[in-house]
Structure 1
Amino acid sequence: MKVFDPFAGYGTVGLVAKIYGFNYELWDLNPMLEVIHNTATIGKPRLTITELIELIESVKNSNREFLPNWNNLNYWFPNEFLPVLSKAWGFVHSERRKENKYLLLIPLLKVTRYFSWSDEKVHKLYRSKYSRQKIENLLKGNWKNIFYRMLQEEVLSLYNKLFEYEKLHPKKVEYKVKSGIDTLTTELNEKVDILITSPPYLQAQEYIRSTKLELFWLGYNEAYIKNLSDKEIPYREVPKIKVYSSTFFEYRKKIKEKHLKFIYDQYFYAILSCFSRLGEKVKNYMCIFVGPAKVRNIPIPIDEIIIEHLREFGWKHEVTFIDRILSRVMFESKINPASGRGDSRIKTEHLVVLKK
């Protein structure tokens, strides 16, 4: 049994596949997939708690330095914090012991985001009233102690989660992880049993923009990150395709603004061509998580459009499961800050199950 996720995000499909003993292949445009997957699969940590505390002390006493090659570095970070961040990242980038490196990477990314002008409660890279107050309060106090205390707490949290995952007895399986790749142009080399994925939800996600800060600290340069951003769905231009869905055209008529109609078209040309092409290598099922993302407050039934289109390619709709989103909403806003219009979040997530 082999499972495939072409929009793998943080790689959850692969981690669950390991528990069930299934082989898997993960793709994603965002290079962070590899960092997260490598961290989650390092196995049961061999370091003791004492050795873990000593590792944090080594970070604190580091004489290595690293600063990202980023023109906007000083816009996102107070100058006071940069020497401490530079030492911490210098240590991590020079660390050759795999377990030590991956026990530090994600915790340090989290703490680095907290010590920036960015509002870590918002998915996108965004300066808010809260984040300005946060930095002002940090600068008034013993922020160095707070930095290392937070780093230690995050490392211990990850350490415990790795033990929890190992208690689920993940199996030794064959896997491929391809990060930083373009799903729309990459070919699947061998057949898979199941495709299970969650593509972007129209305009609802901008993965590269939202993780730009982390990517710079991981060592990626401005040109590379811009190249990734240019490949994001639905903001890239893709070849027009014939869409086999009356629902697609019904909702397209409701969109009046030219630029929004363009985004709508590019989105569906991208994901529908992707699923019809990759589906040729899928032997049994495609399971696709999508939500009714909105264009000018019009909920678009993405699931129905996918079902109708893929029917033309021999896929039979088995069932759609609908789940109300309760816990993942980080904030609710009456006004969309980008448009200045009324706004509301996606309320449900739909799992479309298709059988060949």
Structure 2
Amino acid sequence: MPDKTHQVTFNSLSGSIEALEDVDWTFKSADTGYLTHGLHSYPARMIPQIPDTLLNYYKSEGVISEGDTVYDPFSGSGTTAVEGRLHGLHAEANDVNPLACLLTLTKSIPLDLVELNSARDDLLDGLADELRTVRHSYEDGTLEFDEVPEIRDGWFPEPQLQELWHIRQRIDRIETEYSDQIARFFRTTLSGITRRVSYQRNGEYKRYRLPEEKREEHDPDVFDLFQSELSDNVALMRSYSEKVDHSLNTAVHYADSRTATENENAVEEESADIVITSPPYGDHRTTVAYGQFSQDPAIIAGDCGYDEMKDVDKIGLGGSKSDLEPIEALEDWSSAFGATMETLRENDGRAEDALNFVRDYFEVMKEVAKILKSGQPAAWVVANRTMSRVNIPTHLITRELCEHIGYEHEVTLPREIPTKTLPWENAPENVEGTKGDLMANENIVIMRSP
């Protein structure tokens, strides 16, 4: 694993930006893991250079100012929230994935460094010896825990799973002695090594195991992994905490952004001054399976249940557990979507899946229009996926449906995706040897709220 300690340099774009169209939005070779952005991986993560550049621009134009609020209805690992805090803004966010909520809070809220160092020392004190005892107890058959994580069988080597669980129990005790913020930081660190300890194949965001013959060779040292990760993460948090205003607020709602203003602890209407978000490319089942990526880390490191995590991909946009009724008029409100649906039907494609996803996406657009102050910018970072070999022009659909709600289009900015944790090809017909192209570019669609 690369050493993260070199990534602490703040990469904020310097100088004024005269026009958004003049920016090279690809940001090829840019360091995307500076400060707390490097605390934890996440699939299809929006790079921080996008919100950094947008916030710089709109601050220089007087559209937003320090003390304002940035909102992200699809928080993910907290890229927008972190950049908002770095630019002197309060941050608010929604996500249906509890691991995403954990990561957003951990990455965006600065810590008292004296308390962090003390808690770290307490957490590590004697931990290596205890993990050795766990291993020996497992080997001689005397290991007992009052609780064990509800993990699907065959995904972790033993006794490493028991060692991870022992660290989790120690973190639980640290939380009672210090604070939930400090414990959250340690949970994020534990989450970060969980997939590396498991039999998960490297470079995959969905759940794919190592071949059985390689599992026999997989014998990670849990203490070394955790101690190294913790050292790197403390360095990143130290640099971040020294830069940001600790009096700012970050509010993260573990709630559905389709009903953001109606949930318990709802987001207030007309409370945001700018929105920057990267919506899912499609339903989680067939694009980015955030729930699969998060399942074991959230169960082991957080306080999440097996059934709760299994449902994350089902309750995402277009998921099987959405209870919204179809909106046939969407095809009239967006000519690009209407043409897409016609082609999908002609090809016997997944027209119903596309309709369900866009219906849910449209509900988020309506909620954002309520939350964002009138005339303020909303930046939607979207990619044009394919379904049944049909390109879905998400940037045009986003613009046209927003315009139907009453938004005004400001600009659409194309960008290439030089690196992202995504498959570049798939097999849409599930025929062996058959592949189709996936996303290799994005568009930043900027609308002004009604």
TM superposition score category, shorter chain reference: 0.7 to 0.9
Letter in 2 for 1:164: S
- CA RMSD between the two structures: 2.7
Mapped partners of 1:213, 1:55: distance in 2: 22
Q: Secondary structure at the match of 2:93?
A: strand
Letter in 1 for 2:415: D
Deviation at 1:91, TM superposition (A): 1.4
Q: Secondary structure at the match of 1:289?
A: strand
Q: Decide which moves more: 57-66 or 15-24.
A: 57-66
Equivalent residue in structure 1 for 2:334, among 228, 245, 253? 245
Q: Secondary structure at the match of 1:138?
A: coil
Judging changes above 3 Å, is the alpha-carbon distance between structure 1 residues 333 and 249 closer, same or farther for their aligned structure 2 residues? closer
Mapped partners of 1:10, 1:254: distance in 2: 35
Q: Secondary structure at the match of 1:346?
A: coil
TM-score by length of 2: 0.70
CA contact (8 A) 1:115 1:135 kept: no
Equivalent residue in structure 1 for 2:192, among 83, 88, 110? 110
Mapped partners of 2:268, 2:352: distance in 1: 32
Deviation at 1:330, TM superposition (A): 5.9
Equivalent residue in structure 2 for 1:163, among 231, 235, 238? 238
Letter in 1 for 2:290: Y
Q: Secondary structure at the match of 2:307?
A: helix
1:94-173 matches, cutoff 5 A = 94-96=173-175, 97-98=178-179, 101-129=183-211, 132=212, 135-139=215-219, 143=220, 146-170=221-245, 172-173=247-248
Q: Decide which moves more: 187-196 or 12-21.
A: 187-196
Letter in 2 for 1:32: L
Deviation at 1:229, TM superposition (A): 3.6
1:252-293 per-residue CA deviation (whole Å, 9 max, x = no partner) reads 122246672111000100101220233133221111010011
Equivalent residue in structure 1 for 2:84, among 9, 12, 17? 17
Deviation at 1:54, TM superposition (A): 6.2
Judging changes above 3 Å, is the alpha-carbon distance between structure 1 residues 150 and 174 closer, same or farther for their aligned structure 2 residues? closer
Does the alignment pair 1:67 with 2:67?
Answer: no
Equivalent residue in structure 2 for 1:206, among 283, 289, 295? 289
Q: How many residues align?
A: 346
Aligned counterpart, 2:171: 92
Letter in 2 for 1:15: V
Deviation at 1:337, TM superposition (A): 9.8
CA contact (8 A) 2:426 2:438 kept: no
1:297-336 matches, cutoff 5 A = 297-329=389-421, 332-333=424-425, 335=427
Judging changes above 3 Å, is the alpha-carbon distance between structure 1 residues 348 and 168 closer, same or farther for their aligned structure 2 residues? farther
Q: Secondary structure at the match of 1:312?
A: helix
Deviation at 1:215, TM superposition (A): 2.1
Deviation at 1:246, TM superposition (A): 0.7
Deviation at 1:332, TM superposition (A): 4.8
Mapped partners of 2:192, 2:86: distance in 1: 27
1:305-354 per-residue CA deviation (whole Å, 9 max, x = no partner) reads 11112112221111111111112246655756956431333111211001
Mapped partners of 1:90, 1:51: distance in 2: 14
Does the alignment pair 1:271 with 2:355?
Answer: no
Judging changes above 3 Å, is the alpha-carbon distance between structure 1 residues 209 and 42 closer, same or farther for their aligned structure 2 residues? same
Unaligned runs of 5+ in 1: none
CA contact (8 A) 1:324 1:348 kept: yes
Does the alignment pair 1:235 with 2:319?
Answer: yes
Letter in 2 for 1:186: A
Judging changes above 3 Å, is the alpha-carbon distance between structure 1 residues 121 and 336 closer, same or farther for their aligned structure 2 residues? farther
1:41-52 matches, cutoff 5 A = 41-46=109-114, 52=120
Q: Decide which moves more: 151-160 or 256-265.
A: 256-265
Letter in 2 for 1:184: R
CA contact (8 A) 1:116 1:135 kept: no
Letter in 2 for 1:347: A
TM-score by length of 1: 0.87
Letter in 1 for 2:370: E
Mapped partners of 2:309, 2:248: distance in 1: 32
Letter in 2 for 1:93: D
CA contact (8 A) 1:20 1:170 kept: no
Mapped partners of 1:224, 1:51: distance in 2: 30
CA contact (8 A) 1:321 1:352 kept: yes
1:121-156 per-residue CA deviation (whole Å, 9 max, x = no partner) reads 201122144xx56533234xxx4xx22111111101
Letter in 2 for 1:209: Q
Q: Secondary structure at the match of 2:209?
A: coil
Q: Decide which moves more: 309-318 or 56-65.
A: 56-65
Deviation at 1:201, TM superposition (A): 0.5
Unaligned runs of 5+ in 2: 1-67, 135-143, 262-266
1:151-204 per-residue CA deviation (whole Å, 9 max, x = no partner) reads 11110110111122234334522332112x122223132312222211110142
Aligned counterpart, 2:256: 182
1:19-58 matches, cutoff 5 A = 19-40=86-107, 41-46=109-114, 52=120, 55-58=123-126
Q: Secondary structure at the match of 1:320?
A: strand
Judging changes above 3 Å, is the alpha-carbon distance between structure 1 residues 330 and 278 closer, same or farther for their aligned structure 2 residues? closer
Judging changes above 3 Å, is the alpha-carbon distance between structure 1 residues 115 and 133 closer, same or farther for their aligned structure 2 residues? farther
